[in-house]
Amino acid sequence: MTTRDLDMPVTPANALTLGDAVLRHLVYSVGKDQSHAVERDWCVALSLAIRDLMVDGWMDTTRRIYKTKQKRVYYLSMEFMIGRLLEDAIANMGLIKEAKEFFGELGLNLSDILNSEPDPALGNGGLGRLAACFMDSMATVGVAGIGYGIRYEHGIFRQSFQDGWQLEEPEDWLVFGNAWEFQRPEVEYSVEFGGSVQRDNTGKMIWTPSERILAGAFDTPIAGWGGKHVNTLRLWSARSAEVLNLHQFNQGEFMAAAQQQVLAESITKVLYPGDHTAEGRELRLKQEVFFTSASLQDILRRFRLDNTNWNELPQYAAVQLNDTHPAIAVPELVRLLVDKHGLEFVESFEIARATLHYTNHTLLPEALEKWPLELFERCLPRHLQIIREIDNLFAAEVAAKYEGKNVDPMKAIDPHHGGWVRMGNLAFIGSSHVNGVSALHTELMKQTVFKDLHEIYPDRILNQTNGITPRRWLYECNPLLADLITETIGDAWVKDLEHIAALAPHADDKTFRKKFAAVKAENKVHLAAFIKQQTGIVVNPTSLFDVQIKRIHEYKRQLLNALETMALYNAIKEDPSAGWTPRVKIFAGKAAPSYTLAKLIIKLINDVAAKVNADEDVGDLLNVVFLPNYNVSAAEELIPGADLSEQISTAGFEASGTGNMKFALNGALTIGTLDGANVEIKDHVGDDNIFIFGMEADEVARRQQEGCQPWMTVSETPRLQEVVKQISSGFYSHGDTERFAGVVDNVLAHDYFQVTPDFDAYWETQRKVDAEFKDVDNWHRKAILNTANMGWFSADRTIRGYAKDIWKALPDEG
């Protein structure tokens, strides 16, 4: 080997062809030759080759940001549901064709190689997927963004079914290593818990913690479209500040010797550990503090590299809190400024408030985080002191503006009911902007959860309707449709989705409709094969594919869909020759491990599937499928093949939804309530191209307040009444009348989420869907208009909105 002149620039990775680079990595990084390489080896070699290319752009981007002092945006999120990264990276680097050709010549199939990459299970639902779409869009738009989160060793559980019941197993996505990440051993911060606080003789508060955990950084480069701007996703991994207790180990106490390490590392083991025990709740709080504190320490360190004036922090850094999980950032940033950097309290709070921004994701009272005061006192005594001071400052601010206003219900600390720290209030008080995620949700936020605070700070709440990245959610997941669109209107839509509007006139072109229909038909054949491979169930790809995929939750109303399925089954049985539109009802989604009713709904759907699919009288007229382990990769398989998108949440409860956007963009028609972003989707695609039904948010709220009597509604809804009778008589449970008592009781006695009053409207609308699907050419015309009118729902638009209105960090474009 020749030595290099150290002043020579490193040869950029693009000096090699992609094929040569892959082969080099296969030999020198993976340690295999071509004849012994298996799919995973090729996947690693290809990932490393692509990563090399990204690193060039990454370093350029970093240098440019430092040089121009571009304002940085920090996105703090408990979840980043990024999905597989390889295809995304190849696409954004513009190398899909080259990669396909290279593997084609070797007799290998690129998509098999892409599918051998594990799906990083770092998220649970829409909130986590939003964070991932934002990472893609920040890089594409040119925002200097860094995502901060947790490097969960196991992430969210892997779901399977045992006799129709949900089974949870640990996900093992990291066992064979992760080709995308760079460990940064030198970037390590200490996060502390417990102990006590004393005032020293100068009056300063001194916190002496009893526990110290180290947060180590792992970086993943995230390239935008074209690969020029490359941002960083920095995830923290926990390790004990104490290494093995050698004394205990030498005494033969091996378990005790490792105890400290095990406890420390448990912080980054899994996403959403069970919180039905006190230990579980404490672990969750520690996870939140852990990643928030490490991220803030990192942000302050970076700011200090070239700035000594703390008051300029908000000018160079904007921190977005994705829901309340990182809301501890408010007292933590104040603490760092006061205790570590010697600033005054009031000044520190002003700096923190100007730097932090909070996104609210739910109005559900039980989902608004609050922690027992006792837990805070024990784990975070110094933070609790600071929160009390913030409350006092807030009360003084209000008193100065409004005389005699009762501030207690708005404070972060609720001393009543046993004592709580309300994280939503804390985040609101400590942020300069608070945003909702759809027009309706933002409006409801002002009227409900933050009504009082909104009165006091009328300019603080604003809306940024969610979006999705068109790269992953059309260009990559639906190559046939992407090619057809590009062939018809050019490829500008990939970078700027508004260009997809040029497709609209083609809805009136019969030849184009035929091509569009052919793409959907092929995607459905592909989806049918996926269903067969995952469940063994054979479905007819010409049936209407009716898809509801999302976390299982009462407000999302999978139960409404399941009840309608059972009623449809009855109706078909009664008259099989009544000209039914053959339908496949497709479900997927995980239920939280301690959410008993959600798990029972999964079991019910699986039992209905078993009965319906086995019924020869019904045949292809109705099939029911529940796909296991819903995640990003499953969504990418399912969405291109859907005809009908189920977005049927109880109005007022789905903050935005993003699944709704993915389906409409891929040419599925929506059946939905006027909830979340459905409202805005309807405005964009047009009333004739969407199926809206059911009560609106105000009516729902009224009924919930009045406390309706669902059994009366059921008795006035014969189809529903029959279904409920069947379920309770053991029709779907081999005569077991107890199994679904929880479901029946919920429908008849509580029905907080208004399944019964919406049932008939839903049934009628589904029959309208049946009728419309029969005129398949007209259906495709509507589907095209959905795709063509979804340009506004690009996450690039959302990111520009945040950058302009909240972060004040809109990059110069051009």
Rounded Cα distance, 18 and 274, in Å: 45
**Per rule CB under 6 A, is residue 126 in the interface with ligand PLP?**
yes
Toward ligand PLP, which CB reaches closer, 222 or 319?
222
CA 323 to the chain's CA centroid: 11
Instruction: Provide CB contacts within 8 A for 440, sequence distance 6+.
Output: 652, 674, 675, 676, 679, 697
Please name every residue paired with 63 in a beta bridge, in sequence order, or none if there are none. none
Q: Residues 333, 355: contact at Cβ < 8 Å?
A: yes
Toward ligand PLP, which CB reaches closer, 126 or 147?
126
Toward ligand PLP, which CB reaches closer, 653 or 807?
653
Catalytic residue among 662, 780, 781, 782: 662
Q: Kindly indicate which of the ranges 61-69, 505-513, 624-632, 704-712 contains the residues binding ligand PLP, using the contact rule CB under 6 A.
A: 624-632
What are the structure tokens assigned to 193, written together? Answer: 């818990």
Q: Kindly indicate which of the ranges 123-131, 238-246, 392-400, 529-537 contains the residues binding ligand PLP, using the contact rule CB under 6 A.
A: 123-131
Residue 183: which region, alpha, beta or left (left: phi > 0; alpha: psi -120 to 50)? beta
Rounded Cα distance, 412 and 422, in Å: 5
**Per rule CB under 6 A, is residue 438 in the interface with ligand PLP?**
no
205-213 long-range Cβ contacts below 8 angstroms, 24+ apart: 205/339, 205/382, 205/385, 207/339, 207/381, 207/382, 212/241, 213/238, 213/239, 213/240, 213/241, 213/264, 213/267, 213/286, 213/290
In 3D space, the residue among 459, 462, 458, 466 whose CA is nearest the CA of residue 438 turns out to be 466
Toward ligand PLP, which CB reaches closer, 217 or 601?
601
Catalytic residue among 239, 551, 573, 703: 551
The Cα-based distances of 647 to 16, 553, 669, 672, 706 in angstroms read 47, 13, 10, 5, 26
Catalytic residue among 361, 454, 513, 583: 361
Toward ligand PLP, which CB reaches closer, 371 or 587?
587
Q: Which residue has the tokens 């209105």?
A: 805
**Per rule CB under 6 A, is residue 658 in the interface with ligand PLP?**
yes
Q: Kindly indicate which of the ranges 536-544, 613-621, 625-633, 729-737 contains the residues binding ligand PLP, using the contact rule CB under 6 A.
A: 625-633
Letters for 475-494 (x = contact with ligand PLP by CB under 6 A, - = none) are: --------------------
- For the bound state, the minimum distance from the C-beta of residue 398 to ligand PLP, rounded and expressed in Å, comes to 36
SS3 813: coil
Give the pairing type, strands 182-193 and 211-223.
Answer: antiparallel
Q: Residues 304, 346: contact at Cβ < 8 Å?
A: no
- For the bound state, the minimum distance from the C-beta of residue 547 to ligand PLP, rounded and expressed in Å, comes to 10
The Cα-based distances of 689 to 141, 468, 546, 780, 782 in angstroms read 31, 20, 16, 10, 5
Q: Kindly indicate which of the ranges 535-543, 629-637, 752-760, 797-805 contains the residues binding ligand PLP, using the contact rule CB under 6 A.
A: 629-637
- For the bound state, the minimum distance from the C-beta of residue 524 to ligand PLP, rounded and expressed in Å, comes to 19
Q: Kindly indicate which of the ranges 63-71, 182-190, 337-345, 655-663 contains the residues binding ligand PLP, using the contact rule CB under 6 A.
A: 655-663
Catalytic residue among 140, 442, 658, 765: 658
**Per rule CB under 6 A, is residue 240 in the interface with ligand PLP?**
no
Toward ligand PLP, which CB reaches closer, 648 or 727?
648
**Per rule CB under 6 A, is residue 672 in the interface with ligand PLP?**
no
Toward ligand PLP, which CB reaches closer, 84 or 234?
84
**Per rule CB under 6 A, is residue 151 in the interface with ligand PLP?**
no
Q: Which residue has the tokens 């400590």?
A: 430
> What is the DSSP annotation of 62-76?
HHHHHHHTPPEEEEE
Q: Kindly indicate which of the ranges 145-153, 215-223, 490-498, 656-664 contains the residues binding ligand PLP, using the contact rule CB under 6 A.
A: 656-664
Count of residues engaged in binding ligand PLP, rule: CB under 6 A: 12
Toward ligand PLP, which CB reaches closer, 126 or 381?
126
- For the bound state, the minimum distance from the C-beta of residue 363 to ligand PLP, rounded and expressed in Å, comes to 15
**Per rule CB under 6 A, is residue 657 in the interface with ligand PLP?**
yes
Q: Which residue has the tokens 């110290």?
A: 212
Catalytic residue among 286, 556, 599, 800: 556
Is residue 808 annotated as a catalytic residue, yes or no? no
Rounded Cα distance, 265 and 237, in Å: 8
Q: Which residue is nearest to ligand PLP (CB)?
A: 659
**Per rule CB under 6 A, is residue 129 in the interface with ligand PLP?**
yes
**Per rule CB under 6 A, is residue 470 in the interface with ligand PLP?**
no
- For the bound state, the minimum distance from the C-beta of residue 590 to ligand PLP, rounded and expressed in Å, comes to 9
- For the bound state, the minimum distance from the C-beta of residue 135 to ligand PLP, rounded and expressed in Å, comes to 14
- For the bound state, the minimum distance from the C-beta of residue 79 to ligand PLP, rounded and expressed in Å, comes to 10
Strands (E), 241-346: 317-322
Is residue 550 annotated as a catalytic residue, yes or no? yes
Please state, as a whole number, how many other Cβ atoms lie within 10 Å of the Cβ of residue 807: 22
Residues 372-391 that bind ligand PLP (CB under 6 A): none
Q: Residues 521, 779: contact at Cβ < 8 Å?
A: no
Choose which of 53, 632, 795, 806 interacts with ligand PLP (CB under 6 A).
Answer: 632
**What are the helix and strand counts (H, E) for the chain?**
33, 22
Toward ligand PLP, which CB reaches closer, 129 or 506?
129
In 3D space, the residue among 417, 428, 336, 467 whose CA is nearest the CA of residue 793 turns out to be 467
The Cα-based distances of 718 to 19, 451, 725 in angstroms read 65, 41, 10
- For the bound state, the minimum distance from the C-beta of residue 148 to ligand PLP, rounded and expressed in Å, comes to 21
Rounded Cα distance, 683 and 664, in Å: 13
**Per rule CB under 6 A, is residue 640 in the interface with ligand PLP?**
no
What are the structure tokens assigned to 130, written together? Answer: 């939003």
Is residue 551 annotated as a catalytic residue, yes or no? yes
**Per rule CB under 6 A, is residue 631 in the interface with ligand PLP?**
yes
Choose which of 550, 583, 782, 800 interacts with ligand PLP (CB under 6 A).
Answer: 550
Strands (E), 579-628: 583-588, 622-627
**Per rule CB under 6 A, is residue 635 in the interface with ligand PLP?**
yes
Choose which of 48, 113, 119, 125 interacts with ligand PLP (CB under 6 A).
Answer: 125
> What is the DSSP annotation of 481-526?
HHHHHHHHH-SHHHH-GGGGGGGGGGGG-HHHHHHHHHHHHHHHHH
**Per rule CB under 6 A, is residue 641 in the interface with ligand PLP?**
no
The letter for the amino acid at 428 is F
Catalytic residue among 335, 411, 460, 550: 550
Backbone angles phi, psi at 72, to 5 degrees: -100, 145
- For the bound state, the minimum distance from the C-beta of residue 554 to ligand PLP, rounded and expressed in Å, comes to 13
- For the bound state, the minimum distance from the C-beta of residue 123 to ligand PLP, rounded and expressed in Å, comes to 7
The DSSP element (H or E) to which 413 belongs, if any, is strand 413-414
Is residue 768 annotated as a catalytic residue, yes or no? no
Q: Residues 291, 78: contact at Cβ < 8 Å?
A: yes
Is residue 361 annotated as a catalytic residue, yes or no? yes
Toward ligand PLP, which CB reaches closer, 180 or 473?
473
In 3D space, the residue among 53, 224, 218 whose CA is nearest the CA of residue 143 turns out to be 224
Q: Which residue has the tokens 């979840």?
A: 79
Choose which of 381, 659, 667, 710 interacts with ligand PLP (CB under 6 A).
Answer: 659
Contacting positions for ligand PLP (CB under 6 A): 125-126, 129, 550, 630-632, 635, 657-659, 662
Give the catalytic positions in this structure.
361, 550-551, 556, 658, 662
